[in-house]
């Protein structure tokens, strides 16, 4: 452990950019932990994110707690990866408890100069975190200062690569979305083109971003279709796709519930489809046996209209509480039903609540075609006296 403690000291001095702990000793206590620096109300801290089952927990660490927390987390995992401006390090723990550390210097790194420059700029911030904060732009998959054709065309960037101030939240949203795709990219086929449908694509910021990330950056062969009801939006998106040379990205006018243009789809996306439109998109994805489903629900009104539960009446009598509870129950039931259909499901925070209340993302990945029927969903719906659209749609599919 002494060698690991020396590594932690080096990480503190260089400035941690990212840490990933994986391969847990006890999977029930969590599958992964990540740590990276952020600015929180102009204060530099480290954000620690732990993944336990389908839940995600966030904790912000003061700089003086970093070393202790990294050391504690290492004791619960068999593998870790650390990135700093000066080097990357990999830690492996064998079955017998032997620890192996491999360290690789970053070409061209000049720690002494970086430390001197940063100290003159922010003398009150711990040196290690200064460098991490200084380099935090590198955490974006699409970086500031590097022009990307579709970002310029959609008005997010200037031709020089600067982020338009009014579009900075959109820029962060796009990068957050790509992080979710990055997590599941290995689940997509590599022996043939990956077929993707984006239902309710709208102006398609995120559809273009998905194509750019998968095809241009990751070199995946893809065929992506964006579907929306607005003819003018579809015309504009097709024009832009042609302009950028995105030959495997096209847009069609159509309704989610009646769309029948595919027999096999690998990934289904729907972002902010209103009310039960999300359910129709999920039902299509399950029918196609899609390997990945990503939905950000919107305007979950259906259960709000249906709920009738005398045990909960003392809290449901408040309109705002009823609305929010109904929305959360809608999405939780959707996740449960997807689990029953053989998916591993996570409910994640899409972007910060301060930017939009519609910030829940349901991400589902197919598990070897195994379905598990339970009575959990039926018990909840009976208790609330509701019948969600997705429950009816999936019930029909199972009957067929």
Rounded-to-integer distance, Cα 357 and Cα 392, Å? 27
Residue 120 φ then ψ, to 5°: -70, -20
Say if 389 falls within a structural domain: yes
Token pair of 362 as six digits? 């349901």
Domain count, the chain: 2
Domain residue limits at 225: 149-399
Spell out the alpha helix ranges (H) of 245-359: 277-287, 302-306, 313-316, 319-340
Q: Which residue, 185, 180, 369, is CA-closest to 286?
A: 369
Give the model's pLDDT for residue 168: 87
Q: pLDDT, tens digit, for every residue of 32-61?
A: 999 988 876 667 788 899 988 878 888 889
Token pair of 266 as six digits? 């690998």
Say if 130 falls within a structural domain: no
- In the listed set 100, 117, 134, which residue is the last one of a domain according to the structure? 117
Q: What is the CATH number of the domain that holds 303?
A: 3.40.50.150
If asked whether residues 291 and 173 sit together in one domain, one would say yes
Give the model's pLDDT for residue 109: 55
Question: Which residue shows structure tokens 């609305």?
Answer: 323
Token pair of 227 as six digits? 């579907």
Would you report the helix, strand and coil content of the chain in percent, each value rounded to 5? 45, 25, 30
If asked whether residues 166 and 275 sit together in one domain, one would say yes
If asked whether residues 224 and 82 sit together in one domain, one would say no
Token pair of 130 as six digits? 């200064």
Say if 126 falls within a structural domain: no
User: How many degrees, rounded to 5, is the angle at CA 153 between CA 241 and CA 294?
Assistant: 60
- In the listed set 99, 117, 135, which residue is the last one of a domain according to the structure? 117
Please report which helix (H) or strand (E) contains residue 268, including its range: strand 267-274
Residue 353 φ then ψ, to 5°: -60, -25
Say if 305 falls within a structural domain: yes
Token pair of 250 as six digits? 């096209």
Rounded-to-integer distance, Cα 219 and Cα 203, Å? 24
If asked whether residues 192 and 267 sit together in one domain, one would say yes
Q: Running along the chain, 400 residues long, what does each successive block of 10 average in pLDDT?
A: 87 88 89 85 81 86 90 93 89 90 76 41 44 48 88 88 88 91 91 93 90 93 93 91 93 88 90 88 93 92 93 93 93 94 90 56 86 85 94 76
Question: Which residue shows structure tokens 């197919």?
Answer: 366
Rounded-to-integer distance, Cα 397 and Cα 399, Å? 5
Q: Could you say which DSSP state residue 86 is in?
A: S
If asked whether residues 111 and 160 sit together in one domain, one would say no
Give the model's pLDDT for residue 135: 42
Give the model's pLDDT for residue 369: 67
Say if 9 falls within a structural domain: yes
Say if 133 falls within a structural domain: no
Say if 327 falls within a structural domain: yes
Say if 134 falls within a structural domain: no
If asked whether residues 171 and 244 sit together in one domain, one would say yes
Rounded-to-integer distance, Cα 11 and Cα 69, Å? 13
If asked whether residues 42 and 167 sit together in one domain, one would say no
If asked whether residues 163 and 22 sit together in one domain, one would say no
Q: Could you say which DSSP state residue 93 is in?
A: E
- The alpha carbon of 15 is separated from its chain's Cα centroid by a whole number of angstroms, namely 25
If asked whether residues 111 and 202 sit together in one domain, one would say no
Its pTM stands at 0.65
Rounded-to-integer distance, Cα 121 and Cα 113, Å? 13
If asked whether residues 222 and 354 sit together in one domain, one would say yes
Rounded-to-integer distance, Cα 100 and Cα 1, Å? 10
If asked whether residues 356 and 214 sit together in one domain, one would say yes
If asked whether residues 350 and 310 sit together in one domain, one would say yes
Q: Which residue, 76, 110, 79, is CA-closest to 94?
A: 79
Q: pLDDT, tens digit, for every residue of 144-164?
A: 888 898 899 888 989 888 899
- In the listed set 71, 102, 117, which residue is the last one of a domain according to the structure? 117
Contacts of residue 114, Cβ cutoff 8 Å, sequence gap at least 6: 85, 86, 131, 134
Rounded-to-integer distance, Cα 206 and Cα 174, Å? 6
Rounded-to-integer distance, Cα 140 and Cα 171, Å? 9
Rounded-to-integer distance, Cα 170 and Cα 158, Å? 14
């Amino acid at each position: 452990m002494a060698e690991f403690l020396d590594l932690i000291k080096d990480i503190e001095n260089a400035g941690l950019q990212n840490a990933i702990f994986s391969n847990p000793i006890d999977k029930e206590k969590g599958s992964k932990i990540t740590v990276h620096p952020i600015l929180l109300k102009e204060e530099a801290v480290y954000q620690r994110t732990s993944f336990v089952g389908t839940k995600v927990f966030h904790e912000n660490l003061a700089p003086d707690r970093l070393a202790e927390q990294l050391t504690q987390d290492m004791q619960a995992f068999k593998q870790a990866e650390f990135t700093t401006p000066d080097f990357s390090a990999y830690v492996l723990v064998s079955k017998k408890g032997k620890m192996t550390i491999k360290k690789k210097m970053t070409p061209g790194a000049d720690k002494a100069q970086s430390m001197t420059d940063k100290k003159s700029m922010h003398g009150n911030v711990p040196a290690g975190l200064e460098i991490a904060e200084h380099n935090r732009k590198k955490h974006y998959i699409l970086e500031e200062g590097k022009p990307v054709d579709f970002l310029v065309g959609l008005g997010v960037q200037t031709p020089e690569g600067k982020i338009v101030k009014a579009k900075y939240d959109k820029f962060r949203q796009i990068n957050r979305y790509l992080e979710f795709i990055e997590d599941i990219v290995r689940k997509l086929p590599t022996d043939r083109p990956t077929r993707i449908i984006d239902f309710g694509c709208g102006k398609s910021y995120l559809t273009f971003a998905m194509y750019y990330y998968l095809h241009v950056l990751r070199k995946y062969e893809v065929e992506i279709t964006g579907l929306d009801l607005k003819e003018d939006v579809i015309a504009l998106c097709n024009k832009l796709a042609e302009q950028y040379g995105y030959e495997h990205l096209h847009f069609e006018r159509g309704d989610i519930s009646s769309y029948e243009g595919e027999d096999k789809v690998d990934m289904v996306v729907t972002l902010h489809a209103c009310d039960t439109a999300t359910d129709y998109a999920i039902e299509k994805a399950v029918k196609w046996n899609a390997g990945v489903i990503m939905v950000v629900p919107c305007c979950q009104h259906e259960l709000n209209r249906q709920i009738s539960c005398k045990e909960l009446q003392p809290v449901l009598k408040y309109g705002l509480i009823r609305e929010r509870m109904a929305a959360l129950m809608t999405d939780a039931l959707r996740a449960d039903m997807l689990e029953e259909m053989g998916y591993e499901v996570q409910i994640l925070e899409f972007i910060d609540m301060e930017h939009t209340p519609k910030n829940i993302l349901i991400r589902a990945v197919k598990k070897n075609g195994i379905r598990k029927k339970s009575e959990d969903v039926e018990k909840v719906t009976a208790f609330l006296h509701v019948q969600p659209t997705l429950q009816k749609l999936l019930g029909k599919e199972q009957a067929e």
